[in-house]
Amino acid sequence: MAMFGFAIGDIAITQIEEFVDPGVPVQFLLPDLPDDVIPANLDWLAPRFLDPATMGVDITMQSWLIRTRHHTILVDTCGGNHKPREHFPVFHQRRSSAWLDNLCAAGVSPEDIDYVFCTHLHIDHVGWNTRLENGVWVPTFPNARYLWSQAEYDHARPAGDGADDGEHAIFVDSVLPVVEAGLAQMVGPSFDLDDQIAIEAAPGHTPGHSLLRARSGGQVGLFTGDALHHPLQIAAPDCNSFACADAHQARATRRRILGECADHGHLLVPAHFAAPHVGRITRAGDAFRFHPGI
Ligand SMILES: [Zn+2]
């Protein structure tokens, strides 16, 4: 199967897919979506972004592989294998080679990764940070520095032993082993990795949620994690997902990102959009319009 990829100037981007969660009820994903938004946008939503018969949407679980002239970088690491996720059945005890096979098919082995960047520390963004080896969670990318924001780490770190609501397990098996191996690098609200890659605060979905800005040859791509989950949030930018922690801040960050993409022609590269996964943005009154593709 041909892999999906594109370029931002001389930076090569490849999609590394883990799986597609099909037919997620749109009312579950976007609980505060106004009633009139879907009918007004059905012409471009159906069928790839919404099945009008079931009102289901496909959620892509994917990482973005970024190859610059300096570094090989992985953005977000999906759900991972063998993780105990009783609270989240779609991620529970997965045993699939698809994600690693796709990485390998892109010509990259785990040892080749220089940086892993987690936009935030949710279940579907940290899974392949670690893998199970002889009963022990070890970093999957032994030569990488793992980047995430200090604010996100402080928020995700369990305050005490506490009852395990599912979040604690994610921290223990997918974040802590990286820290204990000395591979974690916590960054502030603005961090330049080099002259092409920067990490910037984009809070709201989680307190320390961040985006990655890639720039080359006058082109810019914004890897925006879960600031948006679905293209409907472009037409309705004040609509949050069920998982957004700070409703007001999430809306403000989403509008800031979409406005910058619209006004400067940047490519939007979110974490979960269905194929073609990326797109351009234009303004449409007080909201925005999505133009899928490169
Ligand atoms: Zn996510």
CA 71–ligand 1 middle distance (angstroms): 24
CA 248–ligand 1 middle distance (angstroms): 19
CA 265–ligand 1 middle distance (angstroms): 24
Q: How far apart are the first and last CA of the chain?
A: 20
CA 225–ligand 1 middle distance (angstroms): 7
CA 37–ligand 1 middle distance (angstroms): 23
CA 127–ligand 1 middle distance (angstroms): 11
CATH of domain 5-292: 3.60.15.10
CA 129–ligand 1 middle distance (angstroms): 15
Instruction: Look at residue 83 and tell me whether its pLDDT is greater than 60.
Output: yes
CA 106–ligand 1 middle distance (angstroms): 22
CA 124–ligand 1 middle distance (angstroms): 5
Element (H, E) at 201: strand 197-201
136-139 and 279-284 as β-strands: parallel, antiparallel, unpaired?
unpaired
* pTM, full prediction: 0.97
d(CA 230, CA 206): 17
CA 96–ligand 1 middle distance (angstroms): 19
Q: What is the pLDDT of residues 18-45, one digit of tens each?
A: 999 999 999 999 999 999 999 999 999 9
Residues 183-188: what's their mean pLDDT? 98
CA 125–ligand 1 middle distance (angstroms): 6
Percent helix, strand, coil in the chain, to 5, is: 25, 30, 40
Return the pLDDT at 220.
98
Burial level of 69, CB count in 10 A (0-12/13-18/19+)?
Answer: exposed
CA 8–ligand 1 middle distance (angstroms): 23
CA 76–ligand 1 middle distance (angstroms): 9
d(CA 231, CA 61): 15
Ligand 1 ion: residues within 5 Å (CB) = 124, 226
Instruction: Look at residue 160 and tell me whether its pLDDT is greater than 70.
Output: no
CA 136–ligand 1 middle distance (angstroms): 25
CA 263–ligand 1 middle distance (angstroms): 26
CA 153–ligand 1 middle distance (angstroms): 16
Q: What is the CB neighbour count within 10 angstroms for residue 267?
A: 20
Average pLDDT, the chain: 96
Backbone angles phi, psi at 277, to 5 degrees: 75, -25
Return the pLDDT at 88.
94
Q: What is the pLDDT of residues 189-223, one digit of tens each?
A: 999 999 999 999 999 999 999 999 999 999 999 99
Residues 265-278: what's their mean pLDDT? 98
Return the pLDDT at 2.
72
CA 112–ligand 1 middle distance (angstroms): 24
CA 240–ligand 1 middle distance (angstroms): 13
CA 63–ligand 1 middle distance (angstroms): 10
d(CA 76, CA 176): 16
CA 182–ligand 1 middle distance (angstroms): 25
